[in-house]
Amino acid sequence: MTYVVVASIIAVIVSLIYLGSVWRAFREVSRARRTPHPGGKSAHPAEAGVSALENESWFSWKLLISIILSTAVLIIAGQSASFWNLIPFIAIGSAIAIIVAFSIDSRQASNR
């Protein structure tokens, strides 16, 4: 029962940070859309001459890896009921990974 309380407390904290990160990202995108770009060039990759393959080259690999890892987690969790206690912490870890990705993207965007 202790892990449920701990997971719930951590989940609430991570959820608040996650919502703040998403809000900040939406605000940055909104600001970027309103800002005119130098030379009249568009910030949209398709309009800037970047091919769809170059723009999404790593997406397919990330998708494939996530499917394989998700399947592995479900197979491992199905082996014993004790593994189901880890599922909330895996979900919290996924949310933390997204928060880190938002912060890395935000730093890279501010350096441009």
Closest alpha carbon to 87 in 74, 69, 71: 74
Among the ranges given (14-23, 27-36, 49-58, 66-75), the one the predictor scored with the smallest mean pLDDT: 49-58
pLDDT tens readout for residues 40-78: 555 555 555 555 555 556 667 777 787 888 888 888 888
Total-model pTM: 0.56
Q: What is the DSSP letter of 48?
A: T
What's the pLDDT score for residue 4?
77
pLDDT at 13: 92
CA angle 75, 76, 77 (to 5 degrees): 90
Domain ranges for the chain:
1-34+69-112
